Every structure is written in structure tokens, then in C-alpha cells.
Chain A
Amino acid sequence: MSDLLSITDLRVTFATDSGPVDAVSGVSLGLKKGEILAIVGESGSGKSVTSKSVLRMLPETSTVTGTVMLNGQNVVDLTREQLRQVRGSDAAMVFQEPSTALNPVFPIGWQISEGLRAHKVDGKRISKKAARQKAIAMLENVGIPDASQRIDYFPHQFSGGQKQRIVIAAALALAPKLIIADEPTTALDVTVQAEILQLLRDCRDNLGASILLITHNMGVVADLADKVAVMLNGKLVEVGDVNQIFANPQHEYTKKLLNAVPKIGGTRRLDYKPQASSPLVVAQNLVIEYPGRLNTPAFKAVNDVSFEIQAGEVLGLVGESGSGKTTIGRAIAGLTRSTGGSLRVVGQEMVGFRERKFKKYRKEIGFVFQDPASSFNPLLTIEQCIAEPLLIHSRELGEAKIKERVAFLLDAVQLPNAAAERFPHELSGGQRQRASLARALALKPSLVIADEPTSALDVSVQAKVLDLFAEIQKEFNFASLFITHDLAVVDQVADRLLVLYKGQLVEEGKTKTVLSNPQHPYTQRLLASHPIPDPQKQAIHRQKLIRLISES
């Protein structure tokens, strides 16, 4: 049987200011009907460009050669009009960020029927009424309750997971034979991710659609894919059956990639040695409210949370988006005002604090931000950025001493000396996050707040940054609040764990205990939703989640 999609020697070149750049160089792939092929690779590997070239959704600056046979037609040679016919009916796309893939000013039903009405069936356009009926049916298919009423709702009235369901419904509207899902769950929480993956699996099982899945998450691959293609620098390094890739990877890069994936219950990077001293942070019945507008009550982002951070301890804080975990981190750093209860940071009360009084204690706190690309002033060199805290708090050191200290810090985070003169955009993501750590450590703080420090990084880079974090934690022995949504990451570094759900602390304890024997139903569901990067174990793991959901 011939393949539904077959890509032969695909090359995509982009014209940039610094000359042509090959994004994809010579990729050949095949996808059969009803099959799920995952393309994995790190950022810049060309996986997204490959998937976009199937529908020729590339910018005008690109040049495509090779053939992309989709359902018997070569997409590369199609005219605009033919291409328009292919889009939506032969293949459809599910985007990464559901909140931007839907137009906020139109009701969702309109957006689903737009695709239906753009294509003629038997030379006739579908009527408005029929399109609406079809859209309702599609919404029911993807599990949106009360579809006949909610079809007139606007995108903002749905949650992130529901929006992604709607995007999938729109993609399915014309019963395409191929669904291209470009990082469909990356922007979603892990419990929602599990639901969307289940929905995509249903699309294949019940509708017989093939899926081209683009992802960097090996857990997602293990959960969904039949076949895996590994890309590196625009080239295909390995293609194979999912079980073979995970159990017996052939290429060095695939092995490296799989090794870098953090697993729950894997090797720990840090061990905590208790110290006898008073806790650095004490939160008692902490409440953080965001003021409401007229007629809307204040929003309680954090509600009645109590915890302590001991000196030299790494405390993990996990939760989904909106759980209040970042808010707590920001409150400790004095970026967000605490409104109730008590929060004492290095002995200072943060409820109703004054910046002027708190300023001298700021050198006790280092902060590592989530996105290293945006946390550096783009116009300052790395050296200037790292010297900032020293210039603010210890100007008396003098220029030479500060320079020396910056060099020492760069060395501590394993950045070459040459990086000092570079600008942030000239460093890679991992290097920037190292520099970010160096900046946080500049004043020898006793507490480092790390807000999702590795979630913007590729897995192999993430592994190296975590290694570094563990190493310098041992060396400098700071306490840390490690905020993350990734249970596997927190398992590697945190000694104790707090689980937040909707602003409340639902579980607290030793990381090992919590992850091996979760007590609260939410923690159980969180853990069961976390995909295991091994297809066979994941199949069993998935059953556990299904059982959990049916029980509740």
C-alpha cells in the first residue's frame, strides 16, 4: 500500500540577512494511513519546518525543493488554488498555542464552519445551516459539553484545553486524512495534555486519520506515536518503530536525547544535609490577592498557604498554570505584594513591606527567570549584566574587583571567559541560563528562587543546566525554591515538595514519598498524567490514569 504522505529529499532554505540558511536538508519520510509519526528533535532541528512544508505554510523567504507527495499530489508543485483545496480537506493543522490559533472576535462555531464553507463539496458550497449542524457535531466529537449552546461562545470563554479541542475540531471538520499537530500539547498543563493526547488517539482509532506529530517531549512520543523520526540540524538521523527507538536506539544522538530525558524515580542530582539554623522563609496562612476591578471581587491567587524553607534546602514547588506557584516565588522576592497572613523572608515581614527598608536584604535573594532570552537587557554585555547586582550593592569593591568577581562567576557556571564580552543574543539558550545563574549568585545569596529555570530549554540542555544547578548548589550551599511544572525535574533536585492546586497547598512532604505514594487525589492525577518516556511502561501507566478518572 502506498503511503498517504511521502516526503522525498526535502530541502528548505531561508534567505536571511546573513545569507541563506538551510533549515531542512534532504529529509525523506513516509507516513501510512492510520499511522502516527512523531518527528522529534530540539529547537532548530527543522522539525517544524518539515511539517509546515507539507501544507506549504512557509514564509515567502523560503525556497523548497524535493517532493512532498500528499494523497497522490506533489504539494511543492501545486498552484495557489490547488493548494487551497488541499489545505483543510487532505491535511489539516493543529497549532501549538490554542489561545492564539483562534480568532478572539469570532464565535468558535463560525471558525469551525469557515473551513467547511471554504471548500466546495460536489461543486456546491455547504449551506450555513448545514455547516452549523456539522460544527456542533464536531464539537461533540471532541468532547465539548453542551455543544449546541456553546457553539456561539467566544474563544476566551473556554479553558486552554478546551480551546485546543476546538482547534482539533476545526482541523477535523473536513475529515482530512492527515492531521499535522505541531507541538499540540506544549502550551498545556500535564493533566490537560493527557486528555488532548487521548483525543488525538481517538481521532486515529475512530476516524482513521494519520497524524504527523511534532514534539520535543519524549513522554508524548512514547504515549502516542507508532513511528518516530529523529531530526538534528535539518537532517534525519534515525527513523524507526517507537518501541525500537526507545529500547534500542541506533544513532548516538538518539541515545543522548533519550538519556537526557528526566524520569521520575531516576537518579537524583542533589542530597540535602540538614543544617541547624533558623528557616530562611516562613509563610504562615499566606494570602496573595490580585485586586479586582469594579464589580469583580479580588482574585485570590494564593490562599492560606503555610511552609518553610530551611537554609541549604532545595524546596520544590509544583503545580499547573494558575496554581499560584509563580506568585509565591514573586512574593518572596518582593515583586508581588503579599496581602494576608504572614511571610517572613530572611527575617523581614513581606506583608506590607517597604521597598526602601527591604532593599538591603535583597542581596540575600537571587532570582533565576524562566526565559533566559528575555531576562537579560539586550543592550548590555553579559559581563555588564552579571556585574549589575555588584554595582548596585557593593559598588565600593571597585571596578577591578567586580571584574574579577564576574570572571570567577562565569567560571563557576562553566562559561568561557570570552562570553563576558558577548551580548545576550549571541549566546545559546543554555549558555544564557548559565549566565542567569551567575547573576543570581553574584552577591552570594542565601536563597535562590528559580522560576521554571529549565522549561524554556531543550532536554539535553536542560540536563546540563540541572547538573550545573546541583553542582553550584553543593558549592555555594544556598537554599532554593525550585518552581516547576515538571515532576521529573523536581524529583532530581528537590528534597521536599509542595504541590499547589488552585492557590492552595494540597500536599507537602519528602519528594520521594510524595512522588511514590501521593495522598491527595490531585497529586495522584498529576502523577498519572505525567507520561513516562517508554512506550511499554506508558501503556500501563495510561491505564492507571483512565482508572483514576473513572473512579472520581
Chain B
Amino acid sequence: MRNFLWRIPPFKQLKMSFGVQRLMLAVGLVIVSIFVLMAALAPLIAPYGFAQLQYENGEYFGAQEPPNPNHLLGTTVGGFDVLSRVIWGTQTALMVIIVAVIMSIFIGVILGLISGYLGGWVDRVLVLVADAVYAFPSLLLAIALSIVISGGRSGLFTGILAAALSITVIFIPQYFRAVRAETLRIKQEAYVESARVLGAGNLRIMFRHIFRNATRTLPLIFTLNASEAILTLAGLGFLGFGIDPTMGAEWGYDLNRSVSDVSAGIWWTSIFPGLAIVLVVLGNTLVGESLNDLADPRLRARQSVEVAGDE
């Protein structure tokens, strides 16, 4: 079990990393694990529900209460508990990441494989579409999609789906391009040629010989995209196209509501959701960047054999 753990991606890299790179990766991994754990255990950790306004005895929390023993991080202008909403927010963020990234990986990878392998007009059309999507401002696209899907404002699942779908559309070209470029390269490799000499069909070549070789870089894009997904979700929420506060906790929405608090000296409503966004994005980026560096032997630092005599 222990040996197995050291062989799966981020941990394997953690073991072979060294120095600052190791520190970066370790910090990133810790942040990401806390984030995931929090999402999984939100019902246990959070003192109140994300849409809860009253105590059990029917008494209201009160709006804009400063941090106190009952509300460790205070309450918002709408009378929600800040701590609870920050914790529940991890769940929403995680779900959006999972849905968005998994959908875009599936679609992007398949389109990339087909486009790179078949080439010709299929390739041209797909590249053109991908470029067009790239050129489109991503947040605008996300807003348009969220309006189409849910009329702008909605419950937890339609909200997540709207956010996830809009992010998916933006991310597909990234996976598409990465996989297409790899496919184009691998198509020329001798082992693909040798499969062709053997008479292997196109599907067999694509999925047995190219697919796994072309998708090696995806974990890197995945971690980097995860942070972008969170930012897009927060952006949507901040602009008022996110999830209804009674349906799910969402940091972007909370930030939006706290804008007017900032000038009134009420700091606790904006700092904590903002901090949550920054930390999760930072954690993901640290993991992604370190994996990226470690995957490249030229960027990977190694422990020197002994103290070098020169320099």
C-alpha cells in the first residue's frame, strides 16, 4: 500500500523532487488536500447550514455581526454565517471543477485524437472552431451560457451545471490542442508506422497506440485548469450569474454581496471568501507548476552528488 502510494502521480513526483521544487509541491498538495477534505466533510465541520439564518430556537443570527464565539468569522449582510459559507463553498467549487474538467477532458481528448490523426478537412474545421472559441472572451461566453442554461440565476445543480458547461466550452480547446499536437507528433513515430505496416485499423492505432501516449501531459493541464475553473466560477458568482445563496454556498456571490461592506469597515465578509479563492487557486497552481517542472528532466532539480568543487 505504501509503495503503491509513492507510485501514483503527485506523490511519485514528491518523492523524486528536491529542494525548493519539493517545498512548492508539498505546500500545494497540502492546500489541495485540505480543500478536498473540507469539501468532503463540510456537513461535519461547518457549524451551520449554508442557507441557515436562524438558530435552532428560531432566533435570527443577525446581519453583519462581527466575529464572536457563536459566529467565529461573523455574519454577512444577508445574515448568513461566514465560516459555514466558506466551508460549504469548497463543495460547490470542487463539484464545478470535477464536472467541468472531466467533461472538457473527454470531449477535448477525443476531438484532439480524431483531428490530429485523420488530418485533412476534419482537422481544419475543428482547429478553426477551437481557435474561434479561444478568441472569445471566456467570461462573456460563460455568462451567455449560464443565461441560456438556467436563465441567469438558479439552484445548486443547474447552477453548477451552467458554470461547469461554460467552463467546459472554454477548456475544450486547451485539451484539444494539447492532444492534437501530441497526436501529430506521435503519428510520425516509428511504432505507429510499424502498427500500420502490420495492418492495424485506424481505431486500433488511435486508441491502442496513440491515445495513452498522447495523454501524458493532461494531469498538468488538469491542475492548472482547475484553478482557472474556480476563478471563472467566482467571476460568474461575483457578476450575479452564479448560484442562488439558498441553493448553495458560492464564494463569488459572497464577495459580490460584501462589496458595500468594505467601505463600511466590515472586513470579515469579504476577506474570508476571497482568501478561500486565493488559497485554492494557489494550491492548484503550485501543484500544477511543480508537476510541470518535474516532468521535464531539464527543469528538474537534482541533489548534487557531493558539494561541487567549482562555482
Task: Verify that A and B bind, or say they do not.
Answer: yes
Q: Give residues in A with beta carbon < 8 Å to B.
A: 13-17, 20, 61, 63-65, 76-77, 80, 333-335, 359-360, 362-363, 365, 367, 369-371, 374-380, 388-389, 392-393, 439
3 closest A-B pairs by beta carbon, nearest first, are A362-B199, A375-B190, A15-B302
Q: Inside 8 A of A362's CB, which chain B residues have their CB?
A: 197-199
Looking at the assembled complex, report how far the CB atom of A413 sits from the nearest CB atom of chain B, in whole angstroms: 16
Looking at the assembled complex, report how far the CB atom of B187 sits from the nearest CB atom of chain A, in whole angstroms: 12
B302 near A17: Cβ-Cβ < 8 Å: yes
B194 near A65: Cβ-Cβ < 8 Å: no
Instruction: Out of B191, B303, B309, name the residue touching A76 (CB < 8 Å).
Output: B309
B309 near A374: Cβ-Cβ < 8 Å: no
A369 near B302: Cβ-Cβ < 8 Å: no
Q: Inside 8 A of A376's CB, which chain B residues have their CB?
A: 191, 194
How long is the Cα–Cα vector from A483 to B303 in the complex, in angstroms?
A: 45
Looking at the assembled complex, report how far the CB atom of B139 sits from the nearest CB atom of chain A, in whole angstroms: 38
Q: Inside 8 A of B213's CB, which chain A residues have their CB?
A: 377-379
The answer to the question of B99 belonging to the interface, with a C-beta cut-off of 8 Å to chain A, is no
Per-residue A-contact encoding for B208-242, CB less than 8 Å = 1, 0 else: 11001100000000000000000000000000000
The answer to the question of B308 belonging to the interface, with a C-beta cut-off of 8 Å to chain A, is yes
- A interface: dominant SS: mixed
Instruction: Out of B16, B197, B209, B311, name the residue touching A367 (CB < 8 Å).
Output: B197
Looking at the assembled complex, report how far the CB atom of A137 sits from the nearest CB atom of chain B, in whole angstroms: 37
Q: A63-B308, A378-B213 are in contact. Are A371 and B190 (CB under 8 A)?
A: yes
How long is the Cα–Cα vector from A392 to B208 in the complex, in angstroms?
A: 12
The answer to the question of B195 belonging to the interface, with a C-beta cut-off of 8 Å to chain A, is yes
Per-residue A-contact encoding for B176-201, CB less than 8 Å = 1, 0 else: 00000000000001110111111111
Q: Inside 8 A of B304's CB, which chain A residues have their CB?
A: 15, 61, 63
| Given contact pairs A65-B309, A439-B194, a sample of 5 additional A-B residue pairs in the complex whose CB atoms are under 8 Å apart | A61-B304, A333-B197, A369-B190, A374-B191, A388-B198
Looking at the assembled complex, report how far the CB atom of A336 sits from the nearest CB atom of chain B, in whole angstroms: 10
The residue of chain A having its C-beta at the shortest distance from the C-beta of B308 within the complex is A63
Looking at the assembled complex, report how far the CB atom of B306 sits from the nearest CB atom of chain A, in whole angstroms: 6
Q: Inside 8 A of A380's CB, which chain B residues have their CB?
A: 208
A15 near B305: Cβ-Cβ < 8 Å: yes
Looking at the assembled complex, report how far the CB atom of B192 sits from the nearest CB atom of chain A, in whole angstroms: 8
Q: A375-B191, A379-B213 are in contact. Are A363 and B199 (CB under 8 A)?
A: yes
Tell me the residues in window 228-273 of chain B with beta carbons closer than 8 Å to chain A beta carbons. none
Per-residue A-contact encoding for B6-23, CB less than 8 Å = 1, 0 else: 000000000010000000
Q: A17-B16, A371-B190, A376-B191 are in contact. Are A365 and B197 (CB under 8 A)?
A: yes
B306 near A63: Cβ-Cβ < 8 Å: yes
How long is the Cα–Cα vector from A14 to B306 in the complex, in angstroms?
A: 10
The answer to the question of B124 belonging to the interface, with a C-beta cut-off of 8 Å to chain A, is no
How long is the Cα–Cα vector from A277 to B197 in the complex, in angstroms?
A: 25
The residue of chain B having its C-beta at the shortest distance from the C-beta of A369 within the complex is B190
Q: Inside 8 A of B308's CB, which chain A residues have their CB?
A: 63
Q: Give residues in B with beta carbon < 8 Å to A.
A: 16, 189-191, 193-201, 204, 208-209, 212-213, 300, 302-306, 308-311
15 of the cross-chain contacts (CB-CB < 8 Å) are: A15-B304, A15-B305, A63-B308, A63-B309, A362-B198, A363-B199, A371-B190, A374-B189, A375-B191, A376-B194, A378-B213, A379-B213, A389-B198, A392-B204, A439-B194
Looking at the assembled complex, report how far the CB atom of B115 sits from the nearest CB atom of chain A, in whole angstroms: 20
Looking at the assembled complex, report how far the CB atom of A40 sits from the nearest CB atom of chain B, in whole angstroms: 27
Q: Inside 8 A of B190's CB, which chain A residues have their CB?
A: 369-371, 374-375
A377 near B191: Cβ-Cβ < 8 Å: yes
How long is the Cα–Cα vector from A420 to B204 in the complex, in angstroms?
A: 22
A16 near B302: Cβ-Cβ < 8 Å: yes
Looking at the assembled complex, report how far the CB atom of B195 sits from the nearest CB atom of chain A, in whole angstroms: 7
Q: Which of A360, A363, A370, A379 has the most CB of B within 10 A?
A: A379
How long is the Cα–Cα vector from A80 to B300 in the complex, in angstroms?
A: 23
Looking at the assembled complex, report how far the CB atom of B16 sits from the nearest CB atom of chain A, in whole angstroms: 5
Instruction: Out of B189, B199, B212, B311, name the residue touching A359 (CB < 8 Å).
Output: B199
Q: A77-B310, A374-B189 are in contact. Are A379 and B212 (CB under 8 A)?
A: yes
How long is the Cα–Cα vector from A164 to B311 in the complex, in angstroms?
A: 33
How long is the Cα–Cα vector from A177 to B196 in the complex, in angstroms?
A: 52
Q: Inside 8 A of B306's CB, which chain A residues have their CB?
A: 63
Q: A17-B16, A65-B309, A379-B213 are in contact. Are A388 and B195 (CB under 8 A)?
A: yes
The residue of chain A having its C-beta at the shortest distance from the C-beta of B191 within the complex is A377
Q: Inside 8 A of A61's CB, which chain B residues have their CB?
A: 302, 304
Looking at the assembled complex, report how far the CB atom of A52 sits from the nearest CB atom of chain B, in whole angstroms: 15
B309 near A64: Cβ-Cβ < 8 Å: yes
Looking at the assembled complex, report how far the CB atom of B112 sits from the nearest CB atom of chain A, in whole angstroms: 18
Looking at the assembled complex, report how far the CB atom of A334 sits from the nearest CB atom of chain B, in whole angstroms: 8
Q: Which of A64, A77, A374 has the most CB of B within 10 A?
A: A374
How long is the Cα–Cα vector from A369 to B199 in the complex, in angstroms?
A: 16
How long is the Cα–Cα vector from A374 to B188 in the complex, in angstroms?
A: 10
Q: Inside 8 A of B208's CB, which chain A residues have their CB?
A: 377, 380
B194 near A367: Cβ-Cβ < 8 Å: yes
Looking at the assembled complex, report how far the CB atom of A290 sits from the nearest CB atom of chain B, in whole angstroms: 15
Q: A363-B199, A392-B200 are in contact. Are A63 and B305 (CB under 8 A)?
A: yes
Q: Inside 8 A of B212's CB, which chain A residues have their CB?
A: 379
How long is the Cα–Cα vector from A545 to B290 in the complex, in angstroms?
A: 57
How long is the Cα–Cα vector from A403 to B114 in the complex, in angstroms?
A: 32
How long is the Cα–Cα vector from A65 to B310 in the complex, in angstroms?
A: 10
Q: Which of A64, A369, A371 has the most CB of B within 10 A?
A: A369
The residue of chain A having its C-beta at the shortest distance from the C-beta of B210 within the complex is A377
The residue of chain A having its C-beta at the shortest distance from the C-beta of B309 within the complex is A65
How long is the Cα–Cα vector from A76 to B309 in the complex, in angstroms?
A: 9
How long is the Cα–Cα vector from A14 to B16 in the complex, in angstroms?
A: 15
Q: Inside 8 A of B199's CB, which chain A residues have their CB?
A: 359-360, 362-363, 389, 392-393
Looking at the assembled complex, report how far the CB atom of A165 sits from the nearest CB atom of chain B, in whole angstroms: 30
How long is the Cα–Cα vector from A389 to B194 in the complex, in angstroms?
A: 10
The residue of chain B having its C-beta at the shortest distance from the C-beta of A379 within the complex is B212
B302 near A375: Cβ-Cβ < 8 Å: no
Q: Inside 8 A of A363's CB, which chain B residues have their CB?
A: 199
Q: Inside 8 A of A335's CB, which chain B residues have their CB?
A: 193, 196-197
Q: Inside 8 A of B196's CB, which chain A residues have their CB?
A: 335
A13 near B198: Cβ-Cβ < 8 Å: no
Q: A17-B16, A76-B310, A379-B212 are in contact. Are A369 and B204 (CB under 8 A)?
A: no
Looking at the assembled complex, report how far the CB atom of A157 sits from the nearest CB atom of chain B, in whole angstroms: 25
Q: A392-B200, A393-B199 are in contact. Are A13 and B191 (CB under 8 A)?
A: no
A369 near B194: Cβ-Cβ < 8 Å: yes
Q: Inside 8 A of B194's CB, which chain A residues have their CB?
A: 367, 369, 375-376, 439
Q: Inside 8 A of A360's CB, which chain B residues have their CB?
A: 199
How long is the Cα–Cα vector from A334 to B198 in the complex, in angstroms?
A: 10
Looking at the assembled complex, report how far the CB atom of A456 sits from the nearest CB atom of chain B, in whole angstroms: 11
The residue of chain B having its C-beta at the shortest distance from the C-beta of A361 within the complex is B199
Q: Inside 8 A of B300's CB, which chain A residues have their CB?
A: 17
How long is the Cα–Cα vector from A541 to B308 in the complex, in angstroms?
A: 49
The residue of chain B having its C-beta at the shortest distance from the C-beta of A75 within the complex is B310
The residue of chain A having its C-beta at the shortest distance from the C-beta of B197 within the complex is A367
Q: A375-B191, A439-B194 are in contact. Are A13 and B305 (CB under 8 A)?
A: yes
B200 near A388: Cβ-Cβ < 8 Å: yes
